[in-house]
Structure 1
Amino acid sequence: MTENKIDIISKDISIHQKKLKNKSFEFGCLIIKEANIWVEEAKNRPIPNMLFSELWYENEVCILFSDTNLGKSILAVQIADSISKGRPIPGFKLESSPKKVLYLDFELSDKQFENRCSEDYENHYQFNENFLRAELHTELELPKEFKNIEEYLCATLSNIIIETKASVVIVDNLTFLSSENEKAKDALVLMKTLKKTSKTNNVSILVLAHTPKRDDSKLITKNDLAGSKMLMNFCDSCFAIGSSSQEASFRYIKQIKQRNTEHLYHSENVIVCSLDKETNFLEFHFEDFDSEKTHLKTYDSSSSEERNEQISFLVSEGLSNVKIADRLGLSEGAIRKRRKKLNI
């Protein structure tokens, strides 16, 4: 009996020694190779392209978060539209050719979605056929083996991706998929599912998430994301939208986490955008790069009416937008925006 055990162990060691000589083998839950082999194999795979500047790359699980009513869904639809057409959003970078995008919309009804891409429900914006939008099937009879619709969706997501041939998936939003995402256990299960789906199906995933009510006078950090610790550990990249104190329609985009690039859009170099609907498509328009601090709420700042009076006076003095912005501690884009509203 003892000899049999020794023989089994010796045989097992011999097998693994042979695998070691081949420089690649599986042991338990690990795949082990020489570092040089990993590099050589990686050379045969394409370099990830930018999907939304350096904020989101191909085959990443990325999180976009912000407080409510700041335009997460608006920006996400705009990104989906850009990727489906293979056209970059002005002011941002897109390196990939047109891709099929599956947008899982658990926020808006079809009528609400229509309103955002039309002029009073007429003159509708035309999307590319690569843009697929999905809503929840509310009349679906849930299979008995699943506790809830969230669990059913996570279990069938891979099959949905295969069926639609999507290479990009946008989930709007995380709160729906895990109503208790602030709890570490639920966040961990969810992010593992998305990470596995991304790797197995070779898809890029953008997940939208809310923040708990935050103080607009403070810098945005990873701690502002609900369930931040576990979510941040399992996502590849993350960026956030903040509100601007300079102009009601202004937003700024800040990079929170990155793996494929250096940290470019930090607190000293956030991306400032205006949120407008010039025709039939509500969207973000690139304005400038700026320091996050200049857009934070200050409790001793002058009122909007006082600022408008100051701007009017400085315009009458012949100062340029840049000089007025420097004088009032605002961005040039904010001055341009206010002058347009004031018609001066």
Structure 2
Amino acid sequence: MDHTAEKPLVIQMIQNEVREAAAKLGRKGEVMISDPDAVIELFDIYPANEWMAMETEHETPQMLFGNFWLEGELCILFADTNMGKSLLAVQLADSITRGEPIAPFTLGAEASPVLYIDFELTGKQFEQRYTDGQNRYQFATEFYRGEYNQFNRASSHYQKLDRYVIEALTRGIKRTDARVLIIDNITCLRNGTESAGAALLLMKELKKLKTRHGVSILVLAHTPKRNPRLPLSRNDLQGSKMLINFCDSAFAMGESHSIPGQRYLKQIKQRSTAETYGADNICLAQLERHKGFLKFVFTGNDCEKNHLRDASRQERERMHREAKKLSDEGLSQRQVAERLGMSVGSVNRMLKGE
């Protein structure tokens, strides 16, 4: 009986790495090492008290964006499309490069270079977003933006694009001396992260990147179509839950259904801090433009339940009218469902008058 499938995924991956290393060093899996002391151990093992003593020599990580994101963390920010997560990410990059906090959140780290890898906007779209016709916003000199070079054919030499991207990110960090890396968005690095194995491999590569180069990483991600009547949770991150399991922290941006145009932030995961901005204390925000710079201004705190879509009779009747209107305009039931954030079955029942 084969027990391989019963082993935890992490154990299987460690075993595979050991086999690959053995295959490279000798034939038929035999590791040929003349000096046993030259072996690099898979685990660093010390007495617990020695770990405590070693870590006291390291500086305590400082806040980059209050309790949402700390130095040295691999953090994920996820939200639905067109919610404004890219705007917030650029605002964070601008804050960190200038050493100026985004009120009311603490920025304990000193001003440092930021590398922002943008897979969403073209250079012209980025320029237009931060120009209001009269003012063109001036970013700090140590804010570096990277854009995918569509004419680079070097990726054809790599079996996997994600491996090529990781190496390109490494070169970018060295070139700019960045202490913070922001990736917009994770889709560009994914090679089937809906599977647990692919997600784990991706998170391992990003963790290696942050450890080797001493950088803090923020990765942006999407949410799949979700029920707007339910609170935001780790289940709303598009792809495998492995992404959440292996990141250090995560927070989400949601849309307020009680105040038009308003957004809110909610902590989803934290390892180094207490939960400050959970369901009972979300952070409300609205977009404003100041001298060409489009940014979020945080206006207070509230309970998340006050900003979820109301499932009352009046709301159901409104949705029914909207569904019928869209259907009369010629949209299919699937298109109506996508427009209203509902399931096709719910739309079908509404149009039948159930």
State the TM bucket, normalised to the shorter chain.
0.7 to 0.9
**1:154 aligns to what?**
166
Matched, 1:215 2:227: yes
- After superposition, what is the alpha-carbon deviation per residue over 1:260-310, rounded to whole angstroms, capped at 9, x for unaligned? 11111110011111122244111110110110000001143868xxxxxxx
Structure 1, unaligned stretches of length 5 or more? 1-14, 17-25, 304-344
Matched, 1:193 2:205: yes
**2:263 aligns to what?**
251
Q: How big is the shift at 1:176?
A: 1.6
Percent sequence identity is 44
Q: How big is the shift at 1:86?
A: 0.1
Q: Is the 8 A contact 1:275 1:283 kept in 2?
A: yes
Q: How big is the shift at 1:91?
A: 1.6
Alignment of 1:36-55 (within 5 A): 36-55=49-68
- After superposition, what is the alpha-carbon deviation per residue over 1:147-177, rounded to whole angstroms, capped at 9, x for unaligned? 3543311133223211210000000000121
Distance between the aligned counterparts of 1:261 and 1:251, measured in 2?
Answer: 23
- After superposition, what is the alpha-carbon deviation per residue over 1:234-279, rounded to whole angstroms, capped at 9, x for unaligned? 1000000000012222111000000111111110011111122244
Matched, 1:119 2:125: no
Distance between the aligned counterparts of 2:314 and 2:128, measured in 1?
Answer: 35
Alignment of 1:144-293 (within 5 A): 144-147=156-159, 149-178=161-190, 180-293=192-305
Distance between the aligned counterparts of 2:128 and 2:250, measured in 1?
Answer: 29
**2:70 aligns to what?**
57
Q: Is the 8 A contact 2:136 2:291 kept in 1?
A: no
Name the SS of the counterpart of 1:188 in structure 2: helix
Q: Is the 8 A contact 2:193 2:240 kept in 1?
A: no
4+ aligned runs moved over 4 Å, structure 1? none
Alignment of 1:325-344 (within 5 A): none
Alignment of 1:10-159 (within 5 A): 28-120=41-133, 122-147=134-159, 149-159=161-171
Structure 2, unaligned stretches of length 5 or more? 1-35, 316-354
Go from structure 1 to structure 2 and tell me whether the alpha carbon gap of 1:85 and 1:301 turns closer, same or farther (over 3 Å shift): farther
Q: Is the 8 A contact 1:181 1:227 kept in 2?
A: yes
- After superposition, what is the alpha-carbon deviation per residue over 1:291-339, rounded to whole angstroms, capped at 9, x for unaligned? 0000001143868xxxxxxxxxxxxxxxxxxxxxxxxxxxxxxxxxxxx
Q: How big is the shift at 1:128?
A: 0.2
Distance between the aligned counterparts of 2:190 and 2:161, measured in 1?
Answer: 10
Question: Amino acid of the residue matched to residue 222 of structure 1?
Answer: R
TM-score, structure 2 as length reference: 0.75
Distance between the aligned counterparts of 1:167 and 1:301, measured in 2?
Answer: 52
Matched residue pairs, number? 280
- After superposition, what is the alpha-carbon deviation per residue over 1:119-162, rounded to whole angstroms, capped at 9, x for unaligned? 03x41011001100000111112255303543311133223211
Question: Amino acid of the residue matched to residue 49 of structure 1?
Answer: Q
Name the SS of the counterpart of 1:115 in structure 2: helix
Distance between the aligned counterparts of 2:110 and 2:71, measured in 1?
Answer: 11
Question: Amino acid of the residue matched to residue 111 of structure 1?
Answer: K
- After superposition, what is the alpha-carbon deviation per residue over 1:183-227, rounded to whole angstroms, capped at 9, x for unaligned? 222221111110110011100000000010111110011011022
Go from structure 1 to structure 2 and tell me whether the alpha carbon gap of 1:27 and 1:97 turns closer, same or farther (over 3 Å shift): closer
Go from structure 1 to structure 2 and tell me whether the alpha carbon gap of 1:28 and 1:279 turns closer, same or farther (over 3 Å shift): closer
Name the SS of the counterpart of 2:105 in structure 1: coil
Question: Amino acid of the residue matched to residue 272 of structure 2?
Answer: N
Q: Is the 8 A contact 1:198 1:205 kept in 2?
A: yes
TM-score, structure 1 as length reference: 0.77
Q: Is the 8 A contact 1:249 1:276 kept in 2?
A: no
**2:335 aligns to what?**
none
Q: How big is the shift at 1:75?
A: 0.2
Q: Is the 8 A contact 2:131 2:137 kept in 1?
A: yes
What is the RMSD computed on CA atoms of the aligned residues? 2.0
The answer to which of 152-161 and 100-109 deviates more is 152-161
